[in-house]
Amino acid sequence: MNIRSDIRNHPTHAWASLNFFQKAYYSIRSVLVWIASILHFFPVCSALVLMGVFIDPRKNDGPQRWLFRNILRLAGVDFEVKFAPGFDRTRTSLFICNHIDLWDAFIIYSAIPQFVRGLEHESHFKIPAYGWMMKRFGNVPVPPEGNLAKYKQMMKLTKERLDSGVSLIVFAEGSRTLNGLVGEFNPGAFRMAIQYGYPIAPMSIVGAYEFSKKKDWKLFPAKITVYMHDTIETAGLGKNEVEPLRQRVQAIVAQPVNEFYGLSPVTTVQTTSVPSPQEAVR
């Protein structure tokens, strides 16, 4: 099976084959994009956080969405969102999507048409400036395994956010992809959805790995498409439905990503010690 030639030849995949001038161009471009994005992000984001002290953050959702979309434009991203007929824009939901890298937050907030916050690893809240902003924005810290007290606090905060009408984003893989493909989903988010009775909104981020990826600081021009799939009800489901639900949502999220790389729609690949999409289709 042959992968699409435009993806195979994308600079992020074909870096070793680029000549000196091409590498210099993309390197200089990346530095300039990072500088422009950082200079744009921190002053505006700080102003939004300050506004949130005096004004309900939900009333600032429009400016926040504008900020994230504008940063993507500055970074050279051609951005598109596709909504399935069964996607409910109004329901408070757990949004489950694939995880590429730190730019996912900008992509997600630009795509989801409602007020939303995220479950984010606890260590991210210790990052200077960024962590403070995420805490003020209302994101939920996810502790490392084994800390029962912090786990109970996470569950409490999750329920509080959902009950107050705030949808939550969950990266069910638990880590960023190393090859662009969707990794195995963890069952935790699906247990929460069933336990609390909130629907799941699967979403697929396609093309972001061509823009930016883990362990690489370079940023490349790319087309990113976000697929908002049909909302899935969980009311009435029991503990025995956690695994079937996990498999169903993983297959839904993975399908557009696999099709993008020319792979079988049912292919699922772990994100550790696996070949790149180019190698996987040989």
Write out pLDDT tens, residues 8-40: 578 888 898 899 999 999 999 999 999 998 888
- 139: amino acid identity, one letter: N
Which pLDDT belongs to residue 265?
65
Cα angle 46, 140, 228; round to 5: 90
Which pLDDT belongs to residue 271?
38
pLDDT for residue 168 is more than 50:
yes
DSSP 8-state class, residue 144: P
pLDDT for residue 102 is more than 60:
yes
C-alpha closest to that of 60 among 70, 39, 45: 45
Domains of the chain by start residue, with CATH: 5-280 (3.40.1130)
Which pLDDT belongs to residue 196?
96
Write out the two tokens for 167: 């949808």
pLDDT for residue 126 is more than 60:
yes
Q: How far is 92 from 69, CA to CA, in rounded Å?
A: 22
pLDDT for residue 269 is more than 60:
no
pLDDT for residue 55 is more than 50:
yes
Which pLDDT belongs to residue 272?
36
Q: How far is 100 from 182, CA to CA, in rounded Å?
A: 9
pLDDT for residue 277 is more than 50:
no
Write out the two tokens for 114: 């409602």
Do residues 98 and 173 touch, judged by C-beta distance below 8 A?
Answer: yes
Which pLDDT belongs to residue 6?
60
Which pLDDT belongs to residue 87?
97
pLDDT for residue 273 is more than 70:
no
- 55: amino acid identity, one letter: I
Q: What is the mean pLDDT of the chain?
A: 86
Which pLDDT belongs to residue 188?
92
The string of pLDDT tens digits covering residues 177-189 is 999 999 999 999 9
Cα angle 173, 182, 105; round to 5: 65
Q: How far is 126 from 233, CA to CA, in rounded Å?
A: 35
Q: How far is 196 from 162, CA to CA, in rounded Å?
A: 9
CB atoms within 10 A of CB 229: 22
Rounded average pLDDT over 91-106: 94
Split at pLDDT 50, 70, 90, the class of 129 is: low
Rounded average pLDDT over 244-266: 92
Query: Looking at per-residue confidence, does 131 or 240 come out higher?
Result: 240
Which pLDDT belongs to residue 275?
37
Which pLDDT belongs to residue 266?
57
